[in-house]
Amino acid sequence: MSENILVFCEQRDGVLQKVSLELIGKGRQLADVLGQKVIAAIIGHNITSLTEDLIAYGADEVVYVDHPTLADYMTAPYTKALTAIVKDTNPDIALLGATSIGRDLAPRLAARIETGLTADCTKLEIDEETKDLLMTRPAFGGNIMATIICPDHRPQCATVRTGVMIALEKDAARAGIVREIDAGLTEEDKNITILETVKSSKKTKDITEANVLVSGGRGIGKTENVAMLQEVADVLGGEVSGSRAVIDAGIMKKYKQVGQTGKTVRPDLYLACGISGAIQHLAGMEESELIIAINKDADAPIFEVADLGIIGDLHRILPKLTTELEKIKE
């Protein structure tokens, strides 16, 4: 019988990815409801030093595959290794991050073990009656939320976006089981050769990691006005983001988008400028600690979730706000 929750914990260059710790936290919640364990799966080369961290963040057990062929991510050997872990642990639920690696790996894993997969989930719950996993994700361009179940196959597989779930506090005193398995990997499992790895230098922080976000909506009007948002963000030590409207208009890049079809964020301060507050956008930022909204439409839905609302023209308010903030910093 399948039991326990398996979380694929992604690491890159020996660094655990944020989404992995978030998924362990969510896995812990689900496991407590089901009375099961959380098993962390980690794959790579020279990764044993990371296993204790996974226990500290909420895993009861860590199962890992450490092999030279896994030093760099390649689809075939990673799929083989994760499949071996799934067959060894026989989990009821398997969770992966909806990262570039997770989105490549998850469907191949699901095909190997002949189960279903729900991608890009924003909510995970346990059905009280059936104990099945309820996997909720945006559908039809984010216009509806679909809850999907997988009652006839195990494990129930899902990928989850970064920033949606909350990681537990690290507890170095936690104890757990750590064990290695042999996935039968050989050099022949490499069906490609990586000639060169080119890493781009990131000048801005990922919006899911920013403590302050100054976010623009349709009301900012044109690309040139993004500078107003940036000036406020610079004074506050934050980042600029936007709603789907400005992304679709080409005013900002896709990686800056907040919302169901973008990224889910939880900053300490979310300054919404000219954002009406469609439900798809609210789903991506409503868990922010402090929400301040600026909109000239007094009936804009964004004011329903805002802690502080300013009714007015952002083009007049933002320059004055920047000036006053600079005075405070002096």
pLDDT value at residue 36: 93
pLDDT in tens, 124-152: 999 999 999 999 887 766 667 889 999 99
- In 3D, which of 229, 209, 227 has the Cα closest to residue 21? 209
Q: What percent of the chain has pLDDT over 70?
A: 97
Residues 6+ apart with CB under 8 A from 285: 213, 215, 258, 259, 264, 265, 270, 272, 291
Angle at Cα 161 formed by Cα 291 and Cα 196, nearest 5°? 120
Tokens standing for 236? 């506050």
Question: pTM of the full predicted structure?
Answer: 0.76
Helix (H) or strand (E) holding 125: strand 123-126
Of the listed ranges 61-70, 204-213, 236-245, 292-301, the least confidently predicted one is 204-213
Paired with 214 in beta bridges are 240, 271
C-alpha torsion angle, residues 134, 135, 141, 142 (rounded to 10): 70
Residue 321 class from Cβ within 10 Å (0-12 exposed, 13-18 middle, 19+ buried)? buried
- 254 pLDDT above the threshold of 60: yes
Q: What is the mean pLDDT of residues 295-300?
A: 92
Summarize pLDDT for 57-114 with one digit per residue, the tens.
999 999 999 999 998 899 999 999 999 999 999 999 999 999 889 999 999 999 999 9
Sorted by where each starts, the structural domains of the chain and their CATH numbers stand as 5-189 (3.40.50.620), 207-329 (3.40.50.1220)
Q: Which of 40, 43, 39, 35 is nearest to 12 (CA)?
A: 43
The 3-state DSSP class for residue 161 equals coil
